[in-house]
Chains A and B, each alone.
Chain A
Amino acid sequence: MKIFFLKLLNVVLIAAVLFIYQSYALSRKEKVDAYEKKVSEYKRAKSALEGTRADGTYTGSGDGYGGRVTIQVTIENHSIKEVKLLSADKETPEYLKKAKRLLQDIVNAQSANVDVVSGATLSSVGILQAAREALKKSGL
């Protein structure tokens, strides 16, 4: 019985730490978001100036967790405007949902050199492979 309460105390402590952390993280998030938006705007302007990408839409595919993942990249004004998932039938929905964050990450970073989503590595790798292929096609 003593062990039960010790373990329970541990769980409560961990939950409390996570709760305190969360309130801190939420207040920090706004600042981080504003900063990231600025960086993304800057990067977009930079790639527009460099003009190394030709406007148009390009598709690419890569190996995900269960099969091929195909995406479409739209280049407008020499910068990445949108990244869309065309097909990923063999991916587990839950993992794919997480990995989809990369579509926006790629636009923000104006490149496919972004970190994989932890906990959805295999689907992430598929999306990034596909994005690299599509972006290669867009290179002038």
Chain B
Amino acid sequence: MTDLHTIRVTVNGTTYERTVEARMLLSDFIRHELGLTGTHVGCEHGVCGACTVLFDGQPVRSCLMFAVQADGHEIMTVEGLAPDPDHLHPLQEAFWEAHGLQCGFCTPGFLMTLKPFLEENPNPTEEEIRLAISGNLCRCTGYQHIIEAVKLAAEKMRK
């Protein structure tokens, strides 16, 4: 028995209408139905944080929600972060400049976790940064450069 639902979801300012199976994860909806493959899927059980998106402005793991639950809600993915195709968001600039990524697989999840964090806490301590990213795993950097990148991003965003 296939349980189908027609949903309307606004992603990065564009409203999409799709008919999906109830069991479709939000992460798969974003990637497979909308083709927004910037949202990465790592563990699919809520540990790695790679699939983090903003759901009504708050970071959530998109592998731990069903697409049908997003009906009528607003989502922002990493594709919605930069202001226009020629400019990066300060967070993205900072990750680039401070070598906050190597392979880049975890990066979209980090960026989407950090955007609301830095907006709410523009001048975080290192301890606060570490707690903020505790739900995102990175297997390349050892986190040190990510923390430097967050400090740099905070500085850029304060300006």
Whether both chains belong to one complex is answered with no
Contacts from A to B (Cβ < 8 Å): none
